Amino acid sequence: MAETEPAAKAFLADIEAFLQASGMAPARLGREAVNDPGLVFDLRAGSRSPGADLMDRVRAWMAENRPNDGLAGRTVLLVIGGGIAAYKALDVIRRLQDAGAIVRVIMTRAAHEFVTPLAAGALAGGHVYTDLFDRDAEHDVGHIRLAREADLVVVAPATADRMAGLATGRSDDLTGAVVLATRAPVLLAPAMNPAMWTHPATQRNVAILRGDGVRFVGPRRGEMAEKGEAGVGRMAEPAEIVTAAADLMSGGSSGPLAGKRVVVTSGPTHEPIDPVRYIANRSSGRQGHAIAAAAAAAGADVTLVTGPVTLADPPGVATVHVETARQMLEAVEAALPADIAVMVAAVADWRASETASAKLKKDGSGAPPALAFVENPDILATVGHRETDRPHLVVGFAAETADLVRYGQDKLKRKRADWIVANDVSPQGGAMGGDDNEVVLITPEATETWPRMSKADVADRLVTRMAEEFEA
């Protein structure tokens, strides 16, 4: 039974107080407390009357998850991977403990070549788990328990091979099984030869993992263990890894977009013709989802409004699923006010003027049905032209097959956007559905051409620029 209005109001007030004290993103509270990232947003919008059971569960969860104190009292599951950087993982154990964390250690088989379980175990003050079929460990703490009891999983060093395994969801060893089974955040500290790091296969895996919400620290530029080899691939220093871990545990509230509300649209829209047919386009949603994930990682409170895509909802992001342009506009307006709007969706420009209620049939004459179209609302232009609650920064994308800058500048003015990210969507560019993007950032003052990079990197760079905009 739904509770009375005053009870719901008091409940929301408790939640807001908890969010403020902890610096936690509302989507994370909803997800972790009752597996519903949209909970707080629904309550704020008054579109949901919480029942007594729900309120009890959320309150119990809040009581258990006292406000942010970084790593103190948190259980960190450290996976030591194979690689010459493994010796630094011992320092990571020590520093995590200094920060108050309880450290449990898994060593992959390859890690044994570099450090001994004895050394790691002595430091961690306990058993080191090594292998999915370790009878003792299974008897003592099964992999599901290890996964469940962790507040954070850190993999250091993360090798190219390990990342490939995690990107495809392999669970044929203890590490793979634990990462699949855990609901805690996962932080990877990659370390490998620079040629391996820059290889498209590795970068593809990094993009997939980022899309799944996995966080990264490093790798850094520097001398490698191999004599004379330099480049990006050196593992981040232990102190940096522990700082990244602490930031993650404080709900990202210390990120450059902490306290900012961001609305992102992503994916295509589907415009129905009849119950079985629709108009769509080739947008995969990867760029929009990457931006939502990057903004959340930067501490923002993110609502992602997405058309039909095959991607997972980014963790820590309140994701609203829609089909049509009109539904997308409605969901975006419901998510306002916001500080930043990033409209990445490839919204269908037209919809069928009438949707047939039954499947259109061939009439035998050989003549195709005459479909009439009407224009869809322009979501970016609607947000850009708002008189009230216009986000401080309105960012649009311009999908073009020619004259990128000219059309981009034109869209900037016409849609009253603050920035346009113009990208080439001609088939030879490979942006539509691909992993990489090559964009030009157009502002009223300047035009910046960015080199070709992964969509995750475009997202990170855009988020960095957005944060700078708020510092200025």
Nearer to ligand CTP, 367 or 374 (CB): 374
| Interface region with ligand CTP, contact rule CB under 6 A, candidates 115-123, 206-214, 223-231, 343-351 | 343-351
Q: Name the residue nearer to ligand CTP (CB basis): 43 or 398.
A: 398
Among 376, 409, 437, 454, binds ligand CTP (CB under 6 A): 376
Q: Output the CA torsion 134→140→146→150 (10° steps).
A: -140
Interaction pattern, residues 407-446, with ligand CTP; x per rule: CB under 6 A: ----x-----------------------------------
Binding part of the chain for ligand CTP, among 175-183, 210-218, 375-383, 427-435 by CB under 6 A, reads 375-383
Q: What does the DSSP assignment read for 55-106? A: HHHHHHHHHHS-S--TTTT-EEEEEE-SSTTHHHHHHHHHHHHHTT-EEEEE
- Specify which residues 222 forms β-bridges with: 231
Q: Which amino acid is at 210?
A: R
Residue with Cβ nearer ligand CTP (177 or 325): 325
Please, which residue, 26 or 268, has the CB nearer to ligand CTP? 268
Cα(242)–Cα(14) distance, integer angstroms: 31
- DSSP state string for 434-468: SSEE-EEEE-SS-EEEPPPEEHHHHHHHHHHHHHH
Residue in 205, 281, 376, 437 annotated catalytic: 281
Cα dihedral sign, 119-124-128-129? negative
Q: What is the DSSP string of 157-220?
A: EEPHHHHHHHHTT--SSHHHHHHHH--S-EEEEE---HHHHHSHHHHHHHHHHHHTT-EE---E
Is 347 one of the binding residues for ligand CTP (CB under 6 A)?
A: yes
Say whether residue 378 binds ligand CTP (CB under 6 A).
yes
Q: Kindly state whether residue 396 participates in binding ligand CTP, applying the rule CB under 6 A.
A: yes
397 touching ligand CTP, by CB under 6 A: yes
Strands of the 152-158 sheet, one edge to the other: 128-129, 102-107, 75-80, 152-158, 186-190, 215-216
Binding mask 323-342 for ligand CTP (x = CB under 6 A): --x-----------------
**Residue 281 is among the residues annotated as catalytic for this protein:** yes
Contact of 239 with 205, CB cutoff 8 Å: no
Please report how close the Cβ of residue 208 comes to ligand CTP at its closest, in angstroms: 24
Interface region with ligand CTP, contact rule CB under 6 A, candidates 302-310, 396-404, 436-444, 464-472: 396-404
Considering the rule CB under 6 A, would residue 345 count as an interface residue with ligand CTP?
Answer: yes
Of the two residues 274 and 349, which places its CB atom closer to ligand CTP in the complex?
349
- Residue among 109, 107, 171, 181 nearest 149 (CA): 181
Task: Specify the pairing of strand 439-442 against strand 447-449.
Answer: antiparallel
Count of residues engaged in binding ligand CTP, rule: CB under 6 A: 16
Minimum separation from the CB atom of position 403 to ligand CTP (A): 11
Nearer to ligand CTP, 178 or 328 (CB): 328
How many residues does this entry show for the chain? 472
153 close to 74: Cβ distance less than 8 angstroms: no
**Segment contacting ligand CTP by CB under 6 A, of 121-129, 192-200, 355-363, 395-403:** 395-403
343 lines the binding site for ligand CTP (CB under 6 A):
yes
Please, what is the minimum distance in Å from the beta carbon of residue 267 to ligand CTP?
Answer: 10
Least distance in angstroms from the C-beta of 414 to ligand CTP? 8
Q: What is the CA 266 to chain-centroid distance, rounded?
A: 13
Distance from the Cα of residue 209 to its chain's centroid: 9
Query: Which of 345, 365, 218, 356 has its CA nearest to residue 292?
Result: 345
Q: How many CB atoms lie within 10 A of CB 73?
A: 11
- CA 74 to CA 103: how far, in whole Å? 8
Instruction: Give the nearer residue to ligand CTP in terms of CB position, either 171 or 382.
Output: 382
Taking contact as CB under 6 A, which single stretch among the options 7-15, 158-166, 272-280, 377-385 is the one that binds ligand CTP? 377-385
- In the complex with ligand CTP, the residue whose CB is nearer, 199 or 326, is 326
| Strand-strand pairing, 186-190 and 215-216 | parallel
Cβ burial of 58 (10 Å; 0-12, 13-18, 19+) is buried
In the bound complex, what is the minimum distance in angstroms from residue 396's beta carbon to ligand CTP? Answer: 3
Query: Measured from the CB of residue 347, what is the shortest distance to ligand CTP in angstroms?
Result: 4
Give Rg (Cα) of the chain. 24
- Paired residues of 264 in beta bridges: 304, 342
The pair of structure tokens assigned to 214 is: 């996995």
Q: Is 462 in the site for ligand CTP (CB under 6 A)?
A: no
Q: How far is the CB of 350 from ligand CTP (least distance, A)?
A: 9
**Could you say which residues in the range 221-280 bind ligand CTP, by CB under 6 A?**
265
Position 111 contacts ligand CTP (CB under 6 A): no
Tell the smallest beta-carbon distance from residue 344 to ligand CTP (Å): 6
Tell me whether residue 205 or residue 265 sits nearer to ligand CTP (CB atom).
265
Binding site for ligand CTP (CB under 6 A): 265, 325, 343-345, 347, 349, 376, 378-380, 396-399, 411
Return the active site residues: 281
